[in-house]
Amino acid sequence: MAAPLGPAEAARALTVAQRLHGELKRLLRHTPASVAGASALSRHTGVLRVTCQRVVSAMADDPVTARFLVRLPGVEGLRQFLEGMRAAGYPMDDIANAEAAVDEFDRLLREVAGSQSRLAERLGSGQGDRPAEDPASDRRALGEAAWRITGRRCEVALSIYAFRSPEHHGGPAILERALAKGVIGVQLMPGGLPLQLSSGDTLSTDDSGLSTVQTLDQSRAAGRTPEAILAPFTTQPMPSVTARGGAGRLLQVVDPSERTAAPFDVVTALRATSPYFDPQTGRPALHEVWSLVNMPSRRLVLDVYLHQGIERLYRPSIDAQLWNPGLTVPEEQKWATRLSPTPRLQLLGAGVGGAACDSYARHAELTAYFFDRLGWDAGEFVGFRCEVEHPIWRAGYCMSFEYLAGQ
């Protein structure tokens, strides 16, 4: 029996699979709807039907694992498939990128398995579809080093998002977003970096009027914003909070009332509105929600609640990304910045009955208070959670929402 892939081999196979899937997906987007099936695609490209069938079938894999590589027609079959697409007039740049991904697949086979069938055997011998769990000790060590370098850390970094569309019965037009964001058990070294809370997503927050960011009492979220603080969950005397916004980003600077060695808590909340569909791209404004680990934390909790009127329109997923200032990464390119292991996405169900968590003893109380302050009926929302022990410092935990209504 073939030996299973080792952790490094499994991680490499997964990356190759995700890259190849992304490049083929980008290429297939140029396929006319009338030739989307395997038989029609075969006639359109002049490629054998069985080859097209294996490609189309494999592309349905969700999520993508290393086993995607053994469902494909093989290296030579893929090269014939790409030649057919070139002859059919598909974009040359996209074909070149797909060819590079096929070359990497070929290299993987030669160096790890020798053949596609041998790779299938090694994948079937163990958990080769994903790398071994990243040891928590490595993530903890990274956090400790970051604490010594930056001079700031916390026990828990939490975010609670809620989204709804008031016109969901007659078709969505406006998207309302609310966010409670906090850091629990903060420690700051004298001379260390300042404490900042940043919220990242793909909603516009520029000066064009497309989005309005406010505190929960609907005052402007700019400059000094003491009303942004949720006092029952913030250490007294309360710190000073100032805010400034940018496209897709809001930054809050927290100045503690006293710089002492004692840990403190601060939780803030904001709300915003934007068009349901981005007028420039035509895609839903609810596309990705990020929790950026810019402070070493022992635990991270990212909760997203969708109103039941729009929840059925989306398929959520979660991953950890090596984030860049622009945040948004095209789905087919995420293989290049995805960090392992993939975090777990948990369904909390309807309402806030499942809001309690081990990371923060008052999390359920905070969630209920948040919805009460908004005046939104929590029972009308469905929750999703990503909870991570020792999150990767400088990673972005990204909850993505695939829009299903157009399918």
Indicate the domain borders of the chain.
7-124, 136-403
What's the pLDDT score for residue 198? Answer: 66
What's the pLDDT score for residue 257? Answer: 63
How large a percentage of the chain has pLDDT more than 70? 80
Using 50, 70 and 90 to split pLDDT, how confident is the model at 332? Answer: low
What's the pLDDT score for residue 161? Answer: 96
How large a percentage of the chain has pLDDT more than 90? 42
Whether pLDDT at 347 is above 70: yes
**124 versus 239: which is more confidently predicted?**
124
The pLDDT tens digits for 260-313 are 558 889 898 888 888 888 887 788 888 889 898 989 999 999 999 999 989 989
What's the pLDDT score for residue 216? Answer: 64
- pLDDT average, residue stretch 209-216: 52
What's the pLDDT score for residue 163? Answer: 95
- pLDDT average, residue stretch 303-326: 88
Contact 8, 15 (CB under 8 A): no
What is the average pLDDT score of the chain?
82
The pLDDT tens digits for 169-212 are 455 588 999 999 999 999 988 778 878 776 544 444 443 334 45
Whether pLDDT at 219 is above 80: no
What's the pLDDT score for residue 29? Answer: 87
The pLDDT tens digits for 139-153 are 899 999 999 999 999
- pLDDT average, residue stretch 45-72: 89
The pLDDT tens digits for 278-287 are 887 788 888 8
Tokens 């390119």 label which residue? Answer: 333
**255 versus 67: which is more confidently predicted?**
67
Whether pLDDT at 404 is above 80: yes
Q: How far apart are CA 179 and CA 197, in angstroms?
A: 12
Q: How far apart are CA 145 and CA 245, in angstroms?
A: 30
The model carries a pTM of 0.72
The CA–CA distances, whole Å, from 87 to 35, 90, 234 equal: 15, 8, 64
Beta strand 288-292 with 174-188 is unpaired
**Tokens matching residue 247:** 């496209």
The pLDDT tens digits for 31-44 are 888 887 889 999 99
The pLDDT tens digits for 99-145 are 999 999 999 999 988 888 889 888 875 544 444 444 578 889 999 99
Query: Phi-psi category of 152—alpha, beta or left, where left has phi over 0 and alpha has psi -120 to 50?
Result: beta
The CA–CA distances, whole Å, from 383 to 307, 320, 403 equal: 9, 19, 17
Using 50, 70 and 90 to split pLDDT, how confident is the model at 247? Answer: very low
- Percent of the chain as helix, strand, coil, to the nearest 5: 35, 30, 35
What's the pLDDT score for residue 223? Answer: 41
Q: Which of 1-5, 67-71, 74-78, 361-365 has the lowest mean pLDDT?
A: 1-5
Q: How far apart are CA 387 and CA 160, in angstroms?
A: 12
